[in-house]
Chains A and B, each alone.
Chain A
Amino acid sequence: MEPQDRVRVQLTVNGSEVSRLVEARRTLADFLRDDLGLRGTHTGCEQGVCGACTVLVDGVAMRSCLTFAAQLDGAAVQTVEGLAGDGDLTPLQEAFRRRHALQCGYCTPGFLMTATEFLRENPSPSEQEIRTALSGQICRCTGYENIVQAVREAAGTLQADQRRQA
């Protein structure tokens, strides 16, 4: 197959069925942004290091800059646009707002997706666990402290919400 050859992919993105013909070389990030118009996912390095482009693929955090759209036939992708839908912010997004965990906001979608997966796996993490879990995400503005505190706060909020529902 040549890089420019087109491949049919069918997948769900934020719960909606999508079927597209894509170039084999097209990254998931470009597919989401330019083909589907979901421009909340940003690319920071396109080298897989900074984590800004992180999305969830079948619930697992992945670098959309290093993933080809053609690899995702049958997958379920969630992006930052799929977190809150059109409604209220999620507890994690709320905590980011309350704790001033973003400045320019460019890296924020990647942090939100990574932390969403992390809190699902580890609902009551220690600060050190949070710092380790976020160490694959680069933020140039905040110096991280408020992001760490936001994730801690979201963990508390998430637990409280679960207690209320139980």
Chain B
Amino acid sequence: MPRVKTRGGIGEDILRIEDQRLLTGKGRYVGDLPLPDVLEMAVLRSPHAHAAIISLEDRGATDLPGVSCAMGGAALLQEAPHLFGGVQPPLATDEVLYVGQGVAVAVAEDRYLAEDALEKLFVRYRRLDVLADVERIVTQAGGDAASHDDAVIAFGEIDPLFAAADIVLEERLAIGRATAQPLEGRAILAVPEGEGLLIYAATQGPHGMRQGIASALSLPPERVRVVAQDVGGGFGVKNGTYPEDVLAAYLALKLQRPVRFQEDRREHFLSTVHSRAQVHRVRLAARRDGTLLAIDDDMLLDAGAYTARINYGMATAVTIPGPYHLSAYRCRVRNVKTHKVPVGPYRGAGRPEGNFVMERMLDALAERLGLDRAEVRRRNLIEPHEMPYDTLIPDRYGHGSIVYDSGDYPLALETALNAADLDAWRSRQAEPLADGRRIGIGIAMFTEDTGVAPFEMAVTELAADGRILIATGSPAQGQGHETSFTQIACSALSQTPDEIVYADTDTALVPAGIGTFGSRATVLAGSALYLACGKLKELLLQEAAAVLRQDKDLLSLSPGRVEGPEGSLALSELAAQAAAKGTPLRALADFRPEQATYADGCHIAIVAVDPQTGGVEILRYVIVDDCGVVISPRQVDGQIQGGLSYGVAAALLEELVYDEQGQLLTGSFMDYPLPTALDVPGAEIHHLCSPSPRNPLGVKGVGEGGTVPALAAVAGAVEDALRPLGGGMARELPLTPERVVRLIADAQAK
């Protein structure tokens, strides 16, 4: 672990560097980039969930002034068949598979004109049968249900344990379809440059987008350069290459004009990946004393029309066991095809759902045994002396089994219990509040794989002015890498933030990269950066030793200088000498850990529930989080608090509701309620620090830990509040007011 203390280094609570421009309207989001001759793109979208395209007629679209191009999928296929080699075609040609799928595209001098052009395109459809409900599909089709990719994650002998168990519980648990809704929609600006393209994109993974676009356009990857500047939120959905990305890139090349696609909110609902959407049939086997024996889960994921780029159902499967001892485990993952928007990762990417399943089942076990919810967990937790702990869960990347690296789960639980002052709250549960509401308490613990492999790269370079340029393949979408990565460089190179220049994430600067998702940027790109800084330091000292004619081992770095016992040298002078020699002082590092890091923690939610209206208010929320070494304290807390709002939303608010015809009924912010300042409480955050031995910084990821256990904690609290009124188990999210009221009504009807 780094020990060098510098002003602005690792762990110091500095103000963010990027804030000045973002607070004054000088952000550089894709939609903000001024280009004189840019064309704007619009896409005509299918109104049907499943239909054959009979014909597409142009009644004057291309004749409109200011319109450069308007065409349907069939015409595009004829003109550029090479674009259609991917999983999903850039436009539908003869059949549409979900409401919102693109059937035609127009580009014009502005978006108003492009939409005018779309109004002159007339499509005739013939409607076909719609697959909407996964459980019905599987029931009707039996083993023949069309499925994108299936898998089983398992260890141990399940059946004997269930046969011999004192207690067997079986439940159906469900988490609704939802999507991330970053306030900046997807955005791409493709600029023709030489024989290739310069692309500015609101993306979490510029290198993956380069590969995706190059491959779709049959270009060598080096002809496509992707740059991510300021990005207005990502949360999982701004990753990979979407059909509109391929269209904008192709049309920019064809028309030799810059083409921009800026998604509007309605399009975001209908074409950006959805997520969650899982139904679990889960069984739990335990001893009478509360010892867990085995979990057997059968998961159906409503996967939408095309195969997901990331099978996050697998992440759910490896998350379910959590911080507990388990003798055997089996999880069957089925990604069932439906006529809906394809799915993909969304903050937590399957982990919140897995956590929800396990933590709800533990609550059910506590209820069955008459045990305290904390006590059931306490009796099953993996102990710190067992670390590193081989869970026996098969690693979904084929690297043997998952081995937790570090953590003190019992301490996390006790710290949270002490902080939450539960006795005082429990004493208020016996009677309703004056307004009739009931108090409920929920507890959830988690472990989460963060910093998932395979690699990230970083580049550091002594710039001409003597400052140090840092670059990685993991752009920020709010995570504040400009600040946290600068802090890493400050510690590694004994500099202050003034001497560090954070570069936009640019495929031209860093040879390869994966991107920012899965709580991985600091773990992987941060570690690569730390290693690259170490290499650069060696280079700087070596060059300075030659210039100063001093022993390299006696030299050290200070802000802007190399210091030696017999004189020092400014880094700017070193830069000038390197420039004169034509040998840039530059270092590249490639960090490839064998396994992920495992963050953990405990959430306690205290809620007040109105049994009449089903309204839920979160009165207090305590979080204990262990993400190892903290680089940027305020940003870590910011990630946790922000993550919590996603957990609260999944537990209480957000759901993409489809009807049986595959029509999205909640396609705007009016009926898909995002959490507001009135819904999300300020969490009380406590930190534990179990450094990860799997990277040079000792860090673990933190972007999703605020979300993962919050679904179960809030649901458990709502259920707890209504138990005295005869309420049943909270099995289905989100707990909308209707579902909350039904917890009582349904239980009483039985």
* B-binding residues in A (CB < 8 A): 23, 25-26, 33-34, 37-42, 44-47, 49-50, 52, 79-81, 83-84, 89, 93, 96-98, 100, 102-109, 112, 130-132, 134-149
The reply to whether the CB of B150 lies closer than 8 angstroms to some CB of chain A is no
Known A-B contacts: A42-B184, A45-B183, A136-B676. Give 12 more (CB < 8 A): A33-B32, A39-B34, A47-B669, A103-B233, A104-B182, A104-B230, A106-B233, A108-B23, A109-B25, A140-B235, A143-B641, A145-B683
Would you call A134 and B668 a contact (CB within 8 A)?
no
Instruction: Compute how far the CA of A151 lies from the CA of B302 in the bound complex, rounded to whole angstroms.
Output: 42
Complex A-B, nearest 7 residue pairs according to Cβ-Cβ distance, in ascending order? A40-B25, A106-B232, A105-B22, A104-B478, A103-B478, A145-B682, A49-B669
Q: Which of A47, A83, A131, A143 contacts B642 (CB 8 A)?
A: A143
Would you call A104 and B668 a contact (CB within 8 A)?
no
Would you call A97 and B16 a contact (CB within 8 A)?
yes
Given A46-B264, A103-B480, A142:B641 Cβ within 8 A = yes
Given A47-B669, A104-B184, A131:B22 Cβ within 8 A = no
Given A105-B19, A105-B23, A140:B641 Cβ within 8 A = no
How many B residues touch A, CB cutoff 8 Å? 57
For this complex, 22 residue pairs linking A to B, each with C-beta atoms less than 8 Å apart, are A39-B32, A40-B26, A40-B27, A44-B184, A47-B265, A49-B668, A50-B674, A80-B25, A102-B23, A105-B232, A106-B233, A139-B183, A140-B182, A140-B233, A140-B645, A140-B674, A141-B233, A141-B638, A142-B642, A143-B680, A145-B641, A146-B641
Residue of A nearest to B234 (CB): A104
User: From residue A165, how far is it (CB to closest CB) to chain B in Å?
Assistant: 23
Given A104-B232, A138-B183, A37:B669 Cβ within 8 A = no
Given A44-B183, A52-B183, A140-B233, A106:B27 Cβ within 8 A = yes
User: From residue B669, how far is it (CB to closest CB) to chain A in Å?
Assistant: 4
User: From residue A5, how far is it (CB to closest CB) to chain B in Å?
Assistant: 13
The reply to whether the CB of B11 lies closer than 8 angstroms to some CB of chain A is no
Would you call A40 and B645 a contact (CB within 8 A)?
no
Name which of A89, A102, A134, A143 has the most chain B CB atoms within 10 A of its CB. Answer: A143
Would you call B233 and A143 a contact (CB within 8 A)?
no
Q: Which residues of B contact A137 (CB under 8 A)?
A: 676-677
User: From residue A1, how far is it (CB to closest CB) to chain B in Å?
Assistant: 15
In residues 623-664 of chain B, which contact A (Cβ within 8 Å)?
634-635, 637-638, 641-645
Q: Which residues of A contact B681 (CB under 8 A)?
A: 145
The reply to whether the CB of B231 lies closer than 8 angstroms to some CB of chain A is yes
Give the dominant DSSP class at B's interface. loop
Q: Which residues of B contact A52 (CB under 8 A)?
A: 183
Q: Which residues of B contact A79 (CB under 8 A)?
A: 25
* Per-position binary interface string of chain B over residues 227-269, scored 1 when its CB falls under 8 Å from any chain A CB and 0 otherwise: 0001111010000000000000000000000000000111000
The reply to whether the CB of B271 lies closer than 8 angstroms to some CB of chain A is no
Q: Which residues of A contact B675 (CB under 8 A)?
A: 143-144
Q: Which residues of B contact A38 (CB under 8 A)?
A: 25
The reply to whether the CB of B477 lies closer than 8 angstroms to some CB of chain A is yes
Q: Which residues of A contact B477 (CB under 8 A)?
A: 104
User: From residue B242, how far is it (CB to closest CB) to chain A in Å?
Assistant: 19
Would you call A39 and B183 a contact (CB within 8 A)?
no
Q: Which residues of B contact A34 (CB under 8 A)?
A: 110
User: From residue A142, how far is it (CB to closest CB) to chain B in Å?
Assistant: 5
Would you call B645 and A89 a contact (CB within 8 A)?
no
The reply to whether the CB of B139 lies closer than 8 angstroms to some CB of chain A is no
Would you call A97 and B20 a contact (CB within 8 A)?
yes
Would you call B230 and A140 a contact (CB within 8 A)?
no
Residue of B nearest to A94 (CB): B23
Q: Which residues of A contact B669 (CB under 8 A)?
A: 45, 47, 49-50, 138
Instruction: Compute how far the CA of A26 lies from the CA of B111 in the bound complex, rounded to whole angstroms.
Output: 11
Q: Which residues of B contact A47 (CB under 8 A)?
A: 265-266, 668-670
The reply to whether the CB of B128 lies closer than 8 angstroms to some CB of chain A is no
In residues 534-559 of chain B, which contact A (Cβ within 8 Å)?
none
User: From residue B269, how far is it (CB to closest CB) to chain A in Å?
Assistant: 10
Given A100-B634, A105-B19, A106-B27, A131:B677 Cβ within 8 A = yes
Q: Which residues of B contact A130 (CB under 8 A)?
A: 677
Instruction: Compute how far the CA of A130 lies from the CA of B682 in the bound complex, rounded to whole angstroms.
Output: 13
Instruction: Compute how far the CA of A10 lies from the CA of B27 in the bound complex, rounded to whole angstroms.
Output: 28
User: From residue A40, how far is it (CB to closest CB) to chain B in Å?
Assistant: 2
Would you call B677 and A148 a contact (CB within 8 A)?
yes
Residue of B nearest to A34 (CB): B110
User: From residue B50, how far is it (CB to closest CB) to chain A in Å?
Assistant: 27
Q: Which of A45, A98, A106, A112 contacts B265 (CB 8 A)?
A: A45
The reply to whether the CB of B146 lies closer than 8 angstroms to some CB of chain A is no
Q: Which residues of A contact B677 (CB under 8 A)?
A: 130-132, 134-135, 137, 144, 147-148
Instruction: Compute how far the CA of A93 lies from the CA of B635 in the bound complex, rounded to whole angstroms.
Output: 18
User: From residue A116, how far is it (CB to closest CB) to chain B in Å?
Assistant: 12
Instruction: Compute how far the CA of A41 lies from the CA of B25 in the bound complex, rounded to whole angstroms.
Output: 7
The reply to whether the CB of B181 lies closer than 8 angstroms to some CB of chain A is yes
Q: Which residues of A contact B25 (CB under 8 A)?
A: 38-41, 79-81, 109
Q: Which residues of B contact A39 (CB under 8 A)?
A: 25, 31-32, 34
Instruction: Compute how far the CA of A26 lies from the CA of B110 in the bound complex, rounded to whole angstroms.
Output: 11
Instruction: Compute how far the CA of A79 lies from the CA of B26 in the bound complex, rounded to whole angstroms.
Output: 12
Name which of A38, A79, A144 has the most chain B CB atoms within 10 A of its CB. Answer: A144
Residue of B nearest to A84 (CB): B24
Would you call A106 and B183 a contact (CB within 8 A)?
yes
The reply to whether the CB of B18 lies closer than 8 angstroms to some CB of chain A is yes
Would you call A131 and B20 a contact (CB within 8 A)?
no
The reply to whether the CB of B415 lies closer than 8 angstroms to some CB of chain A is no
Q: Which residues of B contact A50 (CB under 8 A)?
A: 183, 265, 669, 674
Q: Which residues of B contact A131 (CB under 8 A)?
A: 677-678
User: From residue A156, how far is it (CB to closest CB) to chain B in Å?
Assistant: 17
Q: Which residues of B contact A83 (CB under 8 A)?
A: 24
Q: Which residues of A contact B31 (CB under 8 A)?
A: 33, 39, 42
The reply to whether the CB of B745 lies closer than 8 angstroms to some CB of chain A is no
